[in-house]
């Protein structure tokens, strides 16, 4: 069953996991904040490794330090960008009584996808995704790079049937990208489209 999005989206839970694709997640964070949305950021220890490897960017292990760093980087107010550790079970996205309007896992590792599909909820990212599914809030998964095994595909199919949006980071070339940044923006634009959030990253088809 697919659950329709009821715009407008005000608060987004954004999760970084240990899959390739951190530039997509960081650019999405930047765009969500620029659009005036409130972001609750979650990240795994493996995401810290990926951020350093792919972007030479250090995500502090301490959630408060990470929040201060990203608030300064993106000129966001403390109330607009909050960061929670993986074991903060009293964080708002951990409960259906106070869920975000939508959740995006970008990038989404196949381990996290499997855990969500199985409903294990061992840490806050998995729990927040579980809450989105049970509360019928939009859940967007941006999976790791290719190839994908039958296990990966079966887990994503299961989640798609439960209402999650599976959004592979596969940029189109009809916009004639001139740089890696253009291809990153293509994927981020597609995520924002799913959230019904206006952007100017790409020309709309036919315009």
Cα–Cα distance for residue pair 32/10, rounded to 1 Å: 10
DSSP β-bridge partners for residue 90: none
The reply to whether 109 sits in an annotated binding site is no
The reply to whether 61 sits in an annotated binding site is no
The reply to whether 111 sits in an annotated binding site is no
Copy the structure tokens of residue 146. Answer: 């290719």
The reply to whether 174 sits in an annotated binding site is yes
Assign 207 to helix, strand or coil: coil
122: left (phi over 0), alpha (psi -120 to 50) or beta: alpha
Which residue is associated with the tokens 């439960």? Answer: 162
Assign 42 to helix, strand or coil: strand
Answer whether the bond into residue 173 is a cis peptide, omega within 30°: no
Q: What DSSP element (H or E) covers 14? A: strand 11-16
Cα–Cα distance for residue pair 94/204, rounded to 1 Å: 36
The reply to whether 136 sits in an annotated binding site is no
Cα–Cα distance for residue pair 180/200, rounded to 1 Å: 17
The reply to whether 43 sits in an annotated binding site is no
Q: Provide the greatest CA pair distance for the chain.
A: 46
User: Which residues are annotated as part of the binding site?
Assistant: 18-20, 44, 144, 174, 190
Binding-site residues from annotation for FMN: 18-20, 44, 144
Binding-site residues for dimethylallyl phosphate sit at: 174, 190
């Amino acid at each position: 069953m697919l659950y329709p999005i009821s715009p407008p989206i005000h608060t987004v839970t954004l999760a970084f996991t240990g899959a390739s694709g951190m530039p997509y997640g960081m650019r999405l964070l930047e765009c969500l904040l620029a659009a005036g949305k409130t972001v609750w950021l979650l990240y795994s220890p493996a995401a810290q490794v990926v951020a350093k490897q792919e972007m030479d960017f250090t995500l502090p292990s301490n959630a408060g330090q990470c929040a201060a760093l990203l608030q300064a980087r993106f000129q966001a107010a403390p109330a607009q960008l909050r960061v929670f550790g993986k074991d903060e079970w009293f964080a708002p996205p951990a409960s259906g009584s106070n869920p975000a309007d939508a959740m995006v896992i970008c990038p989404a590792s196949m381990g996290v996808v499997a855990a969500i599909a199985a409903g294990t909820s061992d840490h806050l990212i998995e729990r927040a995704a579980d809450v989105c599914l049970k509360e019928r809030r939009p859940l967007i998964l941006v999976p790791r790079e290719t190839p994908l095994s039958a296990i990966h595909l079966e887990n994503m199919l299961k989640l798609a049937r439960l209402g999650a949006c599976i959004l592979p980071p596969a940029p189109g070339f009809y916009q004639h990208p001139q740089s890696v940044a253009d291809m990153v923006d293509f994927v981020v634009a597609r995520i924002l489209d799913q959230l019904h959030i206006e952007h100017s990253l790409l020309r709309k088809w036919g315009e």
